[in-house]
Amino acid sequence: MSSTSSNVTPTPAPGGGCPPVGIQLEGVILPPLLLMAVILGLLGNLVALWIFWFRIKSWNANIVFLLNLVVADFLALVSLPLRIDALLRRHWVFGDAMCRLNLFLMFSNRTASIALMTIVAFYRYFKVVHPHHRFNRMTKHQAALFSLVVWLLVSSPRIPLLAYNHIKGSGNKTQCFFFTSYKEASRAIIILVTMHRILTVLEFIIALVLLLFCSVRISRFLKERQMGKPEKVRKAMRVCVAIVVIFLVCFLPTTITTLGIWLNRALWQWDCNAFYMLTQLNIVSLGLNFLNSALDPIVYVFSSTLFRAALVAAIPPKLRCHQVEDSERSSSTSQSTGLVELRPARASEDE
Domains and CATH numbers, the chain: 36-332 (1.20.1070.10)
Q: Which range, of 125-139, 145-159, 242-256, averages the lowest pLDDT?
A: 125-139
Using the 8-state DSSP alphabet, how is residue 297 labeled?
A: I
Asked if pLDDT for residue 344 goes beyond 50, the answer is no
Distance between first and last Cα of the chain: 53
* Residues 53 and 136: beta-carbon distance below 8 Å: no
Asked if pLDDT for residue 337 goes beyond 70, the answer is no
| pLDDT, tens digit, 9 for 90 and up, residues 147-200 | 999 999 988 988 888 888 878 777 777 888 765 544 455 677 777 777 888 888
Q: Which residue has the higher pLDDT, 199 or 58?
A: 199
Q: Stretch 259-287: mean pLDDT, rounded? A: 77
Asked if pLDDT for residue 299 goes beyond 80, the answer is no
Mean pLDDT, the chain, integer:
76
For residue 346, name the pLDDT band (cuts at 50, 70, 90): very low
| CA–CA dist 75, 290 (Å, integer) | 11
Amino acid at 236: A
Any alpha helices (H) in 55-182, and if so which ranges?
A: 61-78, 80-89, 95-129, 140-155
Q: Give the H or E element holding residue 50.
A: helix 25-50
Asked if pLDDT for residue 319 goes beyond 70, the answer is no
Asked if pLDDT for residue 290 goes beyond 80, the answer is yes
Q: Stretch 281-292: mean pLDDT, rounded? A: 84
Q: Stretch 312-323: mean pLDDT, rounded? A: 68
- Give the per-residue pLDDT at 205: 93
Q: Stretch 19-32: mean pLDDT, rounded? A: 70
- Give the per-residue pLDDT at 320: 65
